[in-house]
């Protein structure tokens, strides 16, 4: 006998008939001998309707009242669900977040869970009842109702699975599982059988609409086996497991964040601490910053560009003006007609040429790349929004994601998700499980120093399709493994690209690069034979908005200038000058208390 958490999204409980079908699943699991906790979202478009209604009442709804309002959608669903279960002859009890004891901070509309008490749920389960929990909501210390952000029921489900040490957390939806990309845009998208927590974290936080990224954070931190399953059939869906399998394809999936905005700070003083002023202003407003590209300055001034969701642009520009005032220097520009496409795959760790292949697919389709950032398991490119769909389709075909998965389908949970010794002594997970005081805390596992890398930069390259494809193809053909890549278009309208390669490969790489660069008029090559690269590994490094700020502040205080930076959910890399690495590592360790 095990404990299963089953989560049903809005579309799976939209009508009385669907509620009955969901109730039947829970009852079936119960009659199979399991304890069952259901987590239910608001019915259908309920949350959207409530948002619209509020907008009709006031242009500026008070945030506390907004959460009070939105939380009612889930309350309606759980009551109906409990009734449906009882109608089928099993006991059920519906509970709000507050009744369970889901305690959050007081950030209305994006509250984070602090702790969850299990007593009440355990008692009802022991009495033989199915617990039907409201997704998406909690209460703060004062008892005010809070919500966890749109799509937050997934987070409730994995969080409950984590604290109850569930055997599996099943997320029922109206799709077959997790797809290689959005099938509404790319008809050839395929269902993925097995995906790793890391890959799923990246995809979800990069804009793949499948699951709330914070729910995967929980799953990873607490080793919860997660399965996304269709609610309309008995198909097994997609298993989200601690590790993908060994035969994982190089690229597992693609995500598109359509509504992005790009922000560039220019004319900044080129000294440590400047970035920290900017990023602390953004962190205060909880703005999720991504694709940070700092142009390797060739003169006294520095320039940094990054992307934010378009919805956060107004707040970003306010923060920007404050930062510029504080610095007494700098200017800011922004542009909105851009989208971010990301390719994710654990297999990228061990393959060279993945980036080159992606750039080539885009260039074949005539798509220009405005920005590039990479991490060990993902590549993100910023493209013109008008090109976004074309870009997604071409890259999807380019990586062969439309071909059937040759790997065996994932098996039933009891065999496949043999829980990895839940809470094994001494493991990171057990430590986190042990410290439930702050469940959604950022987890920083380690800060590593890599003293084997060099940096190559090419300035003033043409801002046109195919440029990066030519460059990185030449490098890949010479079998040089490229580590970090960042590219940005400068205000002067030309592009600049920087990347790192092993020190032992730099001579060979320079030969390859010089040949390509010689075709571009006015292009200028610079390099640094020795740089230090720091890598922070953890969970939630991008979606916890203050991380960039902490890093810039810690390094700024230590007088270390950041040359390149890459952000991802599970890893954040920073390039600094040779010889500065050790000090930088020490300052990051103390900043993160790791």
Closest Cα to residue 201, out of 218, 224, 189, 185?
218
Q: Give the separation between CA 147 and CA 17, rounded to whole angstroms.
A: 27
Between 146 and 316, CB nearer to Mg ion: 146
State the minimum distance, in angstroms, from the CB of residue 262 to Mg ion.
29
8, 136, 222, 499: which one contacts ligand ASP (CB under 6 A)? 136
Phi and psi torsions of 58, nearest 5°: -150, 145
Between 14 and 497, CB nearer to ligand ASP: 14
Segment lying near ligand ASP (by CB under 6 A), choices 40-48, 110-118, 437-445, 546-554: 40-48
Binding mask 358-397 for ligand ASP (x = CB under 6 A): ----------------------------------------
Task: Say if CB 523 and CB 575 are below 8 A apart.
Answer: no
Segment lying near ligand ASP (by CB under 6 A), choices 39-47, 198-206, 262-270, 282-290: 39-47
Task: Say if CB 295 and CB 492 are below 8 A apart.
Answer: no
Binding mask 59-98 for ligand ASP (x = CB under 6 A): --------------x-------------------------
Between 9 and 581, CB nearer to ligand ASP: 9
Between 41 and 373, CB nearer to ligand ASP: 41
State the minimum distance, in angstroms, from the CB of residue 154 to ligand ASP.
6
**Which listed option, Mg ion, ligand ASP, none, makes contact with residue 150 (CB within 5 to 8 Å by class)?**
ligand ASP
Q: Give the separation between CA 467 and CA 46, rounded to whole angstroms.
A: 47
Compute how many residues bind Mg ion; rule: CB under 5 A.
3
Residue 593 neighbours by CB under 8 Å, 6+ apart? none
Between 135 and 353, CB nearer to ligand ASP: 135
Closest Cα to residue 186, out of 204, 208, 171?
208
State the minimum distance, in angstroms, from the CB of residue 455 to Mg ion.
44
Between 64 and 150, CB nearer to ligand ASP: 150
Q: Give the separation between CA 468 and CA 485, rounded to whole angstroms.
A: 10
Between 122 and 150, CB nearer to ligand ASP: 150
Q: Under the criterion CB under 5 A, does residue 11 sit at the interface with Mg ion?
A: no
Task: Say if CB 145 and CB 68 are below 8 A apart.
Answer: yes
Within 7-36, the residues that bind ligand ASP by CB under 6 A are 9-10
Which H helix or E strand runs over 69?
helix 63-87
5, 6, 8, 10: which one contacts Mg ion (CB under 5 A)? 10
Token look-up 């590593």 returns 448
In the bound state, the residue with its beta carbon closest to Mg ion is: 10
State the minimum distance, in angstroms, from the CB of residue 165 to ligand ASP.
23
Pairing of strands 3-8, 102-104: unpaired
State the minimum distance, in angstroms, from the CB of residue 228 to ligand ASP.
14
Q: Give the separation between CA 204 and CA 537, rounded to whole angstroms.
A: 18
State the minimum distance, in angstroms, from the CB of residue 564 to Mg ion.
38
- The alpha-helical segments, DSSP class H, found in 365-462 are 388-398, 413-416, 428-434
6, 12, 35, 47: which one contacts ligand ASP (CB under 6 A)? 47
Query: Tokens representing 510?
Result: 């320079």
- How many CB atoms within 10 Å of residue 453? 23
Pairing of strands 92-95, 130-134: parallel
Q: Under the criterion CB under 5 A, does residue 41 sit at the interface with Mg ion?
A: yes
42, 216, 261, 565: which one contacts ligand ASP (CB under 6 A)? 42
Which H helix or E strand runs over 406?
none
Between 12 and 342, CB nearer to ligand ASP: 12
Segment lying near Mg ion (by CB under 5 A), choices 35-43, 110-118, 126-134, 512-520: 35-43
Task: Say if CB 288 and CB 545 are below 8 A apart.
Answer: yes
Pairing of strands 482-489, 495-502: antiparallel
Within 145-184, the residues that bind ligand ASP by CB under 6 A are 150-153
Q: Under the criterion CB under 6 A, does residue 132 sit at the interface with ligand ASP?
A: no
Closest Cα to residue 456, out of 384, 507, 392, 383?
507
Closest Cα to residue 392, out of 189, 173, 161?
189
Task: Say if CB 195 and CB 237 are below 8 A apart.
Answer: no
Q: Which residues bind Mg ion (CB under 5 A)?
A: 9-10, 41
Q: Which residues bind ligand ASP (CB under 6 A)?
A: 9-10, 41-42, 47, 73, 135-136, 150-153
């Amino acid at each position: 006998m095990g404990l299963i958490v089953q989560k049903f999204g809005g579309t799976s409980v939209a009508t009385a008939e669907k509620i009955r079908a969901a109730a039947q699943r829970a009852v079936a699991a119960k009659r199979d001998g399991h304890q069952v906790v259901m987590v239910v979202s608001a019915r259908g478009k309920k949350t959207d309707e409530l948002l619209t209604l509020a907008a009709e009442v006031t242009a500026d709804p008070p945030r506390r009242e907004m959460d009070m309002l939105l939380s009612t959608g889930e309350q309606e669903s759980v009551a109906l669900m409990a009734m449906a279960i009882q109608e089928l002859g099993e006991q059920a009890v519906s509970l709000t977040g507050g009744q369970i004891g889901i305690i959050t901070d007081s950030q209305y509309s994006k509250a984070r869970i602090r702790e969850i008490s299990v007593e009440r749920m355990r008692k009802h389960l022991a009495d033989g009842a199915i617990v039907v929990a409201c997704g998406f909501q909690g209460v703060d210390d004062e008892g005010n109702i809070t919500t966890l952000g749109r799509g937050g029921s997934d987070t409730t489900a994995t969080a409950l699975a984590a604290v109850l040490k569930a055997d599996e957390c099943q997320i029922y939806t109206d799709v077959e599982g997790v797809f290689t990309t959005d099938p509404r845009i790319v008809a050839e998208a395929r269902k993925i059988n097995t995906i790793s927590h890391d890959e799923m974290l990246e995809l979800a936080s990069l804009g793949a609409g499948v699951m709330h990224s914070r729910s995967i954070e929980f799953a990873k931190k607490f080793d919860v086996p997660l399965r996304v399953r269709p609610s309309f059939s008995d198909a097994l869906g997609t298993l989200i497991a601690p590790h993908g399998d060994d035969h994982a394809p190089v690229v597992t999936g693609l995500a598109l964040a359509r509504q992005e905005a790009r922000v560039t700070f220019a004319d900044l003083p080129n000294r440590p601490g400047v970035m920290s002023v900017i990023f602390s202003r953004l962190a205060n407003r909880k703005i999720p910053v991504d694709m940070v590209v700092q142009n390797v300055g060739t003169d006294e001034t520095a320039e940094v560009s990054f992307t934010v969701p378009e919805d956060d642009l107004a707040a970003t520009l306010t923060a920007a003006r404050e930062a510029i005032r504080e610095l007494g220097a700098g200017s800011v520009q922004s542009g909105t007609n851009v989208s971010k496409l990301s390719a994710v795959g654990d297999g990228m760790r061990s393959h060279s040429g993945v980036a080159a292949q992606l750039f080539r697919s885009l260039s074949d389709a005539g798509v220009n790349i405005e920005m590039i950032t990479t991490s060990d398991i993902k590549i993100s490119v910023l493209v013109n929004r008008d090109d976004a769909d074309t870009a997604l389709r071409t890259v999807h075909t380019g990586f062969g994601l439309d071909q059937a998965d040759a790997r065996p389908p994932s098996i039933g949970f009891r065999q496949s998700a043999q829980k990895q010794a839940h809470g094994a002594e001494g493991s990171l997970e057990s430590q986190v499980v042990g410290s439930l005081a702050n469940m959604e805390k950022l987890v920083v596992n380690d800060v590593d120093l890599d003293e084997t890398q060099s940096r190559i930069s090419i300035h003033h390259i043409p801002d046109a399709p195919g440029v990066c494809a030519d460059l990185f193809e030449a490098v890949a053909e010479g079998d040089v493994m490229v580590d970090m890549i960042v590219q940005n278009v400068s205000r002067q309208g030309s592009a600049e690209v920087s990347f790192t390669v092993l020190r032992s490969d730099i001579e060979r790489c320079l030969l390859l690069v010089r040949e390509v660069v010689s075709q571009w008029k006015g292009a200028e090559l610079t390099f640094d034979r020795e740089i230090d690269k720091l890598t922070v590994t953890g969970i939630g490094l991008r979606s916890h908005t203050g991380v960039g700020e902490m890093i810039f502040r810690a390094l700024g205080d230590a007088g270390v200038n950041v040359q390149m930076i890459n952000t991802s959910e599970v890893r954040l890399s920073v390039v600094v000058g040779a010889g500065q690495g050790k000090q930088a590592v020490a300052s990051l360790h103390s900043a993160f208390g790791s």
